[in-house]
Structure 1
Amino acid sequence: MTGRRFVPQIPESELIESFVRASGPGGQNVNKVASAVELRFDAANSPSLSEALRARVLALRDRRLTAAGVLVIQANRFRDQAKNREDARARLAEILQAAARVPKKRIATRPTRASKERRLDAKRLRSTHKQQRSKRNWSDD
């Protein structure tokens, strides 16, 4: 695998789709056809996800994730129900792929001597700048 992470296939039985009437443009069609899709995926209780992937999905700071660990994706970009279904599933796949990426461990490094000196020089310069601001000879007035 080069650069891509393994994302498990989610069976149809774990996805709950409901269809609602979409808002926005569409003319009379918008009042008659339930073209918007609400896709629900219970990430907390899904047997398809590994424990590590489940933990990363549940750790996401995403407004689409409920407190119970259910991902709720609403798709109403298109006027066609089938396209909205595809869109919702594609977005679910994107979320799972993002969660599948294992973050790199940070290697602790120490600042170099030169960087320490640059920082201290900048602090000294800022300090003198501020001190010069406050010094004013009031006797000359």
Structure 2
Amino acid sequence: MRFNVDAVIQELTFKAIRSSGAGGQHVNKVSSKVELSFNLNASEGLTDFQKQRIQRKLKSRLTNEGVLILQCGESRSQHKNKELVIKRFIELIKVSLIVPKKRIPTKVPKSVIKKRLKNKRNLSDKKANRKKPDID
């Protein structure tokens, strides 16, 4: 299922925030972590069917208002973090729009049934031959 990537990217909002964790002077004064937010309900780059599908698939990752928030603070560069978070976002949307194929149940072939019964008979005979013979 296709969606207009450029239109969706235009709807993204970004915010630069300071990275968490231990660090020296650099981490305390530079806002290199990037936070991406995408309002799913207000999006015009997606159809209603696509919005419903994403809503269902990403239910646990959306806020109550239907906003998807992703963060990236892997790199020291804000630009690199922005590229990474956009790639992650696009991949997440693509994966959530994939409709799985319906499984068509097939009949078990007769040869497979015969093979199973033959193996069962062989095992049974093998175990029966372990017993002491019945002498009356």
> What TM-score results when the alignment is normalised by the length of structure 1?
0.68
Match of 1:39 in 2: 36
Aligned pair count reads: 124
- The answer to whether the Cα contact below 8 Å between 2:58 and 2:96 also exists between their aligned partners in 1 is no
**Counterpart of 2:35 in 1: which secondary structure?**
strand
Residues 68-83 of structure 1 mapped to structure 2, 5 A cutoff: 68-83=65-80
Deviation at 1:24, TM superposition (A): 3.4
Which moves more between the two structures, 92-101 or 72-81?
A: 92-101
- The answer to whether the Cα contact below 8 Å between 1:26 and 1:79 also exists between their aligned partners in 2 is no
Larger radius of gyration: 2
Deviation at 1:21, TM superposition (A): 0.4
Q: Could you give the per-residue CA deviations for residues 2-51 of structure 1, whole angstroms, max 9, x where no partner exists?
A: xxx52312142x21211110023552111001111110001122111012
> What TM-score results when the alignment is normalised by the length of structure 2?
0.70
Which moves more between the two structures, 46-55 or 34-43?
A: 46-55
Q: Could you give the per-residue CA deviations for residues 56-109 of structure 1, whole angstroms, max 9, x where no partner exists?
A: 211114643223221110111111111111111111110111123221122244
**Counterpart of 2:16 in 1: which secondary structure?**
strand
Q: Gaps (5+ residues) in structure 2?
A: 117-136
Q: Given the alignment, which residue of 97, 102, 107 partners 2:104?
A: 107
Amino acid at match of 2:3: V
Match of 1:6 in 2: 2
Q: Given the alignment, which residue of 79, 85, 88 partners 1:88?
A: 85
Match of 1:66 in 2: 63
Deviation at 1:114, TM superposition (A): 7.5
**Counterpart of 1:77 in 2: which secondary structure?**
coil
Amino acid at match of 1:20: I
**Counterpart of 2:44 in 1: which secondary structure?**
coil
Report runs of 4+ in structure 1 exceeding 3 Å deviation.
Answer: 108-119
Instruction: Say what the alpha-carbon RMSD is for the aligned residues.
Output: 3.1
User: Within 2, Cα distance between the matches of 1:23 and 1:89?
Assistant: 20
